[in-house]
Structure 1
Amino acid sequence: MPLTVADVLAMPNLELRLLAGRDGLTNQVRWAHVTELADPVPWLRGGELVMTVGLGLSADPGEQVAYVGRLAQAGCAGLAFALDERLSAVPPAVLEEADRRAFPVLEVTGTTPFIAVAEAVAQWHADERIRGERRTVAAQEAMARAAVRGGAPGILGALAAHTGGETLLLDPRGRMRAARPDLDRDWHATAIAAVAGGTADRRRAIAIDQGEWVLSLQSLGFSGPPRGWLALWCRGPLEWHVRMLANQAACLLAIELIGAHRTRARAHAQRAALLASVLDADPASRASAAERLAAVCPVVAPPYEVMVVRARDGAHAALADAALDALADVLGDPATEELTFVCPRPDGLVLVVPESSPRHGPALYDRIAAVAGREVAAGACRASGLAEIATAVTHAAAIAARGRGYGHVDDLEPWALLRDALDPAGASRFAEAVLQPLREHDAQHGTALVSTVHTFLDCGQNLERAARRLRIHRNTLRGRLRTAERVSGRSLDDPRHRLELWLALSLGELVPPGRQG
């Protein structure tokens, strides 16, 4: 609360009387200062109650008018005269100019010395400082209680109540997350534009004057890019206690956001463990693993955009925290973000997000790189269901391993062209026709002809290498392959037969998933 000329007039033990300038009684008094200079303005800063016995006051009425005008234009609060033999009455020209300018002129009467007025003003400011500190401490305690009871909205409400203003919480990209009270949207647009347009600096607070009001913007977080922004709209200028309360609110909000981040991280770690069961399942059991995942873990509706993000320095696990912040920023919907997957894997960080147009991938890639503060590469692939996620990860990881920014399988892999040319039902019938004899033999006799042929072809028909991978003797492998040729009716020496077997065995993994329609 500022000290006004009216407050000084009402102070006990001071004998002061108003002579002119009644309309200026609300002028704020910052200091009481004695000067006898004819022009003290170069030594004043504004807000002073100037006290004089009139030694510097000219006898010329025009100069007297100019004297009052200079003090008023310099922002002084008022002028006080002590009348004695030198000046028995305040000149009429001074009083008339004071009334015209709404500039209070006082008389220091009785036994009140100038020093008593100066001390009274100084003591009031000292006491006000103590009162302000007490109010600030009470407000800080209220904000701390609000943080425990109401989280971020409670903090915003307490700050608004104790500053007489309005508050707003923005995410790192300038989108509104909460406001207290929810009244005036005009200034909200100014705050959002300042953050989204880059006016607000990453690691500092700024104040934007808006006439009688001030918009204060402060970044949230203790290191790295901001986790959000606190906007405070209140009457200016910003007092010290308002800045202090805004700083504490920013700290409490940062702690709240960090706590929410850690809670989300724990929830996503549990979801990642469930997704890993699908990614680690063999191709034959992925469908059943996906069904189990859907039964115990809520997910967004397919189709999905599956991303694999790799750090150039190999620290893929360190990207998880950055990815959580990036998901919250890019998706902009906490409910949707909670249903996504963030799963660290040896070949990169896997993200499964809802497919959108345009794709989320490029924005996620940019935001993860910015938050993590390191060079990353990312690949993406479409999956039309949970059972296709493992295959999509394989293709996305191959794109990310190239180490050239962000790329999507549909834009880069020739196999995507083959996928779009194939009829899924027809491809399934082809694979069934080629592999059915081998699968039935394996089921009846407990053999592993399908996996044996698959490994042999994947190893480029190299007998020694395939035997090592299968961990069997090469003669055992020869025997299995002869049985496979007899059961399937296809010779592994015939290029056409090898192609049929290889396509039937590999089409599901070589061709990217997510075919439209």
Structure 2
Amino acid sequence: MTLTVARLLADRRLGLTLVGGAAGADRPITWAHAIELEDPTPWLSGGELVMTTGLRLPGEPDAQRAYLRRLGAKGATALALDTGTVHSAVPEALRLEGDALGLPVLAVAGEVPFIAIGRAVADALAAADVTAAKRVADQQHRLARAALGGGIPAVVDALAGALEADVVVLDAHDAVLASASRDREDASRAARDLLARRRSRRRAASGVHADADGHLTSQVLGVAGVGRGEVLVGTRDALHATQRLLVNHAVSLIAIELEKPAAVLTVERRLRSAVLRALLSGVLGSDLTQLRYFGLDPDAPVVALAVVDAGPLLPAEELLDDVLAATGLPYLATSADGALIVLLPAEAADRTPEQVCAELRRGLGRPLGGGLGSAAALGEAGTSRQQALAAARAGRGGGRELLRFAELSTYDLLLGGQSREALAAVASAALGPLESYDAARNGELVRSLEAFLSHNGQWEAAAAAIEVHRHTMRNRMAKVAALLGRDVESAHVRAELWLAVKARELVQLGG
């Protein structure tokens, strides 16, 4: 906790009384300095509690006021005057000038030595330093955990939260690698603002720039003397020493992430894959606390994302890992059953899966199918994975990159996981005679049957849907019944034919 004038006054052992400048009681004290000079300012650096017995204090009120003004101009925090040696009370001129300047003026009881005040200040500052060091150590640990679980985006997000700052990481070509906002809502706006402020000044290797919007701290990302980019940190106030230390630590972590050898990334990917396989197979058992090392909360729900038709799995897995790392979210990923499988926090289910599928499609240059399971406890992730696979396979060729399990109909679940050959066999077995008839006579029996089934056997509605007379529809359905040898008025037969029609539709969508 910062040592202020008010905190020092609260220590009754020191015999201090605030007699002027009460408005500045919350000003921080950086040191206590006893000095007996008419003008002590050359020996001050700002933030001091100036202690004097008054031996060299001017006697004239105007000179006393000028003395206090000089202290204020130098940045001194407060003046403490001994009232047991030269003065029995603080001169009125000092008290009034302290009020005018908002510079605290303290009366020191005659029996209290300055060394006691100095020791109290030193002890409080040391305790504050220990607390600050512990806080920095804790924050450094959080940054390291963020780097382990989510790479550069997670480090940037953690730094922004710790400093209440806007943070942007640029590569060597000024492209934004990651950004985070102090209000956690608009990282892209924060990135634009910081870049605009950076362009408004002359680019330097590293440093601090103050403007109307606050303070902009820049740190060059360099490894082995080679510049790899820049970290920009925007804060309302100037960073103090411990905060600068935290920025330096974050810069080091980011530089390490940028320089990770390919072999290390490969090991990380394999480890994530092995852990996810163990989780899905039940090998991990009920103790899931080790998943915290990957940023996953064992008590929080997760969702599974499955991606099919991604092509050769090795390059697809490498691209998937890059895409997921860029999100800054904790994750596990593997490949199984010819599909890519990802486990994400359930809170990311609204947008992240769509972004991942879109990035994979662009990177792989091919259409693919994505499926998202329902939220489940971490120990039940296998259920979400099965749902995701069913949704991904059901959505193949449907024109959507991602299909959620909750959106699937019954026929999707029954047919979506089947191969094209199996679907064709189902359709041919039930509709083969109709397809042969239509092909030979340029007929529309299959189309008419689909309309009939879609409209629950309502002649008028079915006929209107394909723009024929109801008698024509009746005649066609009679022909369908004759060719198939089935009663199309039977609910059981209609259900069977409906599945066949949908299987045929999936075959056609798949080309």
The TM-score, its normalising length taken from structure 2, stands at: 0.49
The TM-score, its normalising length taken from structure 1, stands at: 0.48
